[in-house]
Structure 1
Amino acid sequence: MRGVILRGPGDVRVENRDDPRIVEPTDAVIKVAATCICGSDLWPYRGADDVHDAPMGHEYVGTVTEVGADVTKIEVGDFVVGSFFTSDNTCEICRSGYQSICIHRTPMGREGTQAQFARIPNADGTLVATPGTPDPDLIPSLLAASDVLGTGWFAAAVAAQAGPGKTVAVVGDGAVGLLGILAAKHLGAERIIAMSRHADRQALARRFGATDIVEERGAAGVANIKELTDGLGAHSTVEAVGTQESMDQAIRSTRPGGHVGYVGVSHDVVLEGRPLFYSGVHLHGGPAPVRRFLPELIRLIWDRAIDPGAVFDLTLPLEDATVGYRAMDERRATKVLLTV
């Protein structure tokens, strides 16, 4: 099959790879219908993570072509959506709602879903079948549910505690931040402040529900949010970048007693104990338990109540993945969908 390989920083290629096969009796194999490039893929692409000669991709939707002997809930022919971490969905951690920390989890990035086919470990606990074969126009939204929508949903709904009557600030205007805005809107937030410097992303933020835009960063950005909230700060803040600057901005933009949901993959983020102690802010986050939300998100997408697929602003065939990586790296695209 054809699949994306990262040979080294800046060196992404589409090459022949071995076809996936059933290894464990709990595995499934899917024919990938669509996959995409994640903002987190840019960390190794830029050399921030030491990755060489590795398959790429962890977001996927597709049709089941083969199942292992112990798979009982997923059937050949099902159109499925899965998470970027596999989970058994039965262990004590999964039952508490944190499938991304399942004691039997495996990272889908190890399999590499930017490919024509993919092996899915822990298939019964990882995959969720759609009610039928989706209309083609629903596939981008279902693909978004595999990671960025589920991550934004976790950040807003659980980690940042967004809800009716609250003001939500979102630090980061990538796909996760934008879908955090969509989630906050659906959850009933009264005011949603998007921190963005890019006109196209600002427009999508408003489409998803943002009521205010703050372009400044650092102290000036925090001051603007305080000005918009009677000097108090936001009730709920989504941190969707993963840098020191974004984390500092998120904490300082949140009122005492408020909640920061951090889902940006952290790189060299250090929290000073004393300022955090006196901030009175709740911090919660990490890798989103996307599997927890998939049934609800699939239902909302299937009923056309939400349109997270709008976050994809560039669609390319799998063979042009190199072009997609460059476009995202150069911020000419927010999120690239790869057709297979």
Structure 2
Amino acid sequence: MVSPRPAVQALPAYRPGRNPADLAREIGVDRAVKLASNEVAFPPLPAVVQAVAAAAAETNRYPDNGAVVLTAALARRYGVEPAQIATGGGAVTLCQELAQAYTEPGTSIAFAWRSFEMYPLLAQVAGARAVQVPLVPGREGGPADTHDLDGLLAAIDDTTRLVFVCNPNNPTGTAVRRAELERFLDAVPPTTLVVLDEAYREFVTDPDVPDGIELMRGRPNVAVLRTFSKAWGLAGLRVGYLVAEDPAVAEAVRKTHVPFSVSMLAQAAAVAALTSEDEVRRRCAAVAAERERLTSALRERGLDVADSQANFVWLPVGEQAAELAGALEARAVITRPFAGEGVRVTVGAPEEDDAFLAALDAVRDGRRDGAPFR
């Protein structure tokens, strides 16, 4: 019998957020609310719809493997050379390509934990060692929810080829500030590539949370990941990009790129989205305002919710995570539990968040011991 590598056999299956239509049918309601996958609640940008419709007439042809038009648009936007950019099927694909380009058995990848759930899986597939550095409390007396950059620096050794810093962090929503991140980047050995994973950058409102592309400049061992899946509303089309100070980093990623993996429709949509930046900014401002409303409502209910810089909030309910998420799902609200740690809740449209808060109140009222989730 033919078998995959043991490392692959041991991989857990990725579990995406449930389909709300499936849940609605299962529990017998008209509609379920999905707040599990950090999608934006807004419809696709009008310019994107037009561009996709036009590109659809040419889908009998392969897409541009180099994404030349999109790469040029991104290069102009960030004031870099096209050679410093690589595109991929979402930022997660670029993470995988980075692991393939820079690691092998005997090397390691370091990252905070908990953070983006794909990081340890990427190390496992590459045969590299995953070095997980526990989060620390971001405020006195609070839960462990923030990067420990000193601990991450101490974890780097001669085998460390990649360090991922997810900022804002997924799933906790916290972010590290400029001074501490600059100190960290300056102390990392030049043989280790630091990847600033900024999938949620557009939702940041704290002026002290730095733009990674600014910090990248002048640091050849720093690269930045961004995506069109979140703020730009292209989750269903899958397109992300890497910007590197050293063009050799982008070149290495392009060498591990799966040919034609950024579709023609995705490229056209991303280029069109970039022409709608003013509308995207307005949408992000609306998400940030709704995030503040949701955070306040949760704190009023006694939950210890940190200030989030992303389009989701984190409920650090520990061992109650699975119970809470299951009870919410029974009331037609889908969230994302992380067993033993907490529940991540996407900031949705106001009516979706109201449905979540009503379900949360019903769950709390229905608990046998009457105790709130904390």
Structure-2-length-normalised TM-score: 0.35
Kindly indicate which of the two structures has a greater share of residues assigned to strand: 1
Instruction: Answer with 1 or 2: which has the greater Rg.
Output: 2
Kindly indicate which of the two structures has a greater share of residues assigned to helix: 2
Structure-1-length-normalised TM-score: 0.37
